[in-house]
Chain A
Amino acid sequence: MLYSPLRGTGVNVRPVSRQVLDQAIDWQVRLEMGEASQDELSALQTWLAEHAEHRRAWEQLNGINQRLRIAEQPAARTALLRPPSNGRRRLGQSALAVAFAGVLGLVAIDRYIPVRYVFADNVTPTGEQRTLMLPDHTRIVLGSRSALDVRFDEEERRVILLAGEAFIETGHDTTSRPFIVQTQAGRLRALGTRFLVEEESRGSRLTVLQSAVAAQPRFGLAEAVIPQGEQVLMMADRLDELKNAPASADAWVHGMLVVDNQPLGDVVAALSRERTGLITVDPAIAKLRVTGTFPLHDADQALRALALNTPIRVEQHTRWWLAVKPR
């Protein structure tokens, strides 16, 4: 959500060994096949736990997806799928006049799309959220592009957040089984509570709205209790520093985007994550500070509202492409 919209750029770019890369690619393809059993998933977790280089390869591969976004636009896809023409043969032919503008726009290609979790129980597409009621009356709101598995047994109530974000309000269990949210980075144990969990490239962001949640990184030795009103990033090996939870942290649950003095470029990036297609922002206005409350799932409406009190205009070119420009 918006309090850290341009996150996830902290991927270590140093290449891994060929062997590790091959293994990581093999894992990604296997996960995509949708046949990964719980055993295989634990094998993957073991593999990730074995070595920092394994985790680096994994993060790096996950970073690739956000670069592909321009190809969501059908015309762009078509252009990219044309067989590459032989440049050598074309030498000497005259080309179309091409204006090479020196200034590059900020293209909002900032969505992390996970490997498709076809085996997940609950998956939401871009721009949609879904409310789940679990047997113990726990209410979960899954954000856009999220995937969640529910695994309740006699011992515990466990949900696995595979991608995206979830708002969780736990119900009262008659047999007092613990309620656990498992993520790639670790596990969160609810202590009778309301909280948000969001998967980011570096870990899981936990925001506690009521009571408390006990967080244990996958390679951590002990649980740490995160109290109400606090937010923390849980990485596989440690917890980041606690921060005050932003007042509007759960605004997305109500379909709202609350913006307080943020750069326009960040706001557009947040809206863009909820919408398929491309939104470009003229660099001249990307740093413009804006404030307001906007509908999260209607970028067109939100931008129109923004244009009322900021010097911007929005050009809708196609269903796939909005251009935000100075007025």
Chain B
Amino acid sequence: MATGEIKTAPELNVLYRNHGDWLTGWLRRQTGCIQRAEDLRQDTFVRLLAKPELPTMREPRAFLTQIAKGLLIDHYRRASLERSYLEALSTLGDEHYPSAEELAMITEALAELDRLLGKLSSKARAAFLYSRLDGLTHPEIAQRLGVSVPRVRQYIAQGLQQCYIALYGEPV
């Protein structure tokens, strides 16, 4: 890709005018929902606005779908977190069903923590949370997860490192 140029509002306008509807169509095929497609188109352009500069692009549509795909993945991850949460609520015998607004709050907090825990495997996540929130000892965690104690320590160190990077950035 060629060197970036300073983004100008007209440039973004052109992109929006020429490819905005096409992007909505693409998103609609992906999501099967016109409302969601329009929201995600909006988000895609908001993300572009936030960029300090827009690269010169030979394939503007490929560029747009690349950003939109990232947003879609976030979107599905949220939806999946939310679904798991609701399923867990009913499995655990909580009879209350949260309102849309409350659910959005919880989902937001879940997505934030999910981002923090990042690429950790579910065993590593479990080890990390058992240790930090429940204060289980390493042997207790090892037994619950069916792994060795040194492995538990590895998981906890991974968890600390992953959270650190998500919060403060890569160590220098």
Contact = CB atoms under 8 A, between A and B. Distances in A.
Instruction: Assign chain B's interface to a size class.
Output: 35 or more
A323 B171 contact: no
A63 B129 contact: no
Contact of A21 (B108, B132, B164): B164
Contacts of A82: 80-81, 84, 122
Interface string A106-126: 010100010010100000000
A33 B168 contact: no
Given A79-B88, A80-B113, A99-B103, A32 B138 contact: yes
Contacts of A151: none
A317 B93 CA distance: 12
B1 to A, nearest CB: 23
Interface string B68-91: 010011111111111111111101
B136 to A, nearest CB: 9
Given A65-B132, A85-B76, A76 B106 contact: yes
Contact of A70 (B83, B91, B109, B125): B109
Interface in A267-297: 278, 280
B172 interface: yes
A91 B40 CA distance: 14
A109 to B, nearest CB: 7
Given A91-B30, A94-B33, A13 B168 contact: yes
B92 A74 contact: yes
A109 B79 CA distance: 22
Contacts of B121: 83
Interface in B3-34: 29-33
Given A15-B172, A92-B30, A318-B94, A74 B133 contact: no
Contacts, number: 192
A78 interface: yes
A100 B104 contact: yes
A33 B138 contact: yes
B31 A95 contact: yes
B98 A64 contact: no
Counting chain A residues whose Cβ lies within 8 A of the other chain, the interface size class is 35 or more
Interface in A207-255: none
Contacts of B168: 13-15, 60
Interface in A136-183: none
Nearest to A92: B30
Nearest to B136: A116
A78 B87 CA distance: 9
Given A14-B168, A74-B92, A75-B94, A99 B104 contact: yes
Given A14-B168, A32-B156, A68-B133, A78 B84 contact: yes
Given A29-B153, A70-B113, A87-B76, A79 B137 contact: no
Contacts of A84: 77, 114
B105 A18 contact: no
A113 B133 contact: yes
A321 B99 CA distance: 13
Contacts of B78: 98
B161 interface: yes
A28 B160 contact: yes
A95 B76 contact: yes
Given A82-B80, A82-B84, A71 B105 contact: no
B49 interface: no
B49 to A, nearest CB: 17
A226 to B, nearest CB: 33
Interface of A: 13-18, 20-21, 25-26, 28-29, 32-34, 60-61, 63-65, 67-72, 74-85, 87-88, 90-92, 94-101, 103-105, 107, 109, 113, 116, 118, 278, 280, 317-318, 320-321, 323
Given A78-B84, A317-B94, 17 more contacts: A13-B168, A15-B172, A20-B171, A32-B156, A60-B168, A68-B116, A70-B112, A71-B129, A75-B88, A76-B85, A76-B109, A91-B69, A99-B100, A100-B39, A104-B108, A116-B131, A317-B102
23 contacts: A15-B164, A15-B171, A16-B171, A18-B172, A20-B171, A21-B171, A25-B160, A60-B164, A67-B112, A75-B94, A77-B88, A78-B91, A79-B110, A80-B110, A81-B122, A82-B81, A84-B77, A85-B77, A87-B73, A95-B76, A98-B79, A101-B104, A105-B102
Closest 9 CB pairs of A and B: A87-B73, A78-B88, A79-B84, A101-B104, A75-B88, A94-B32, A99-B100, A105-B105, A79-B85
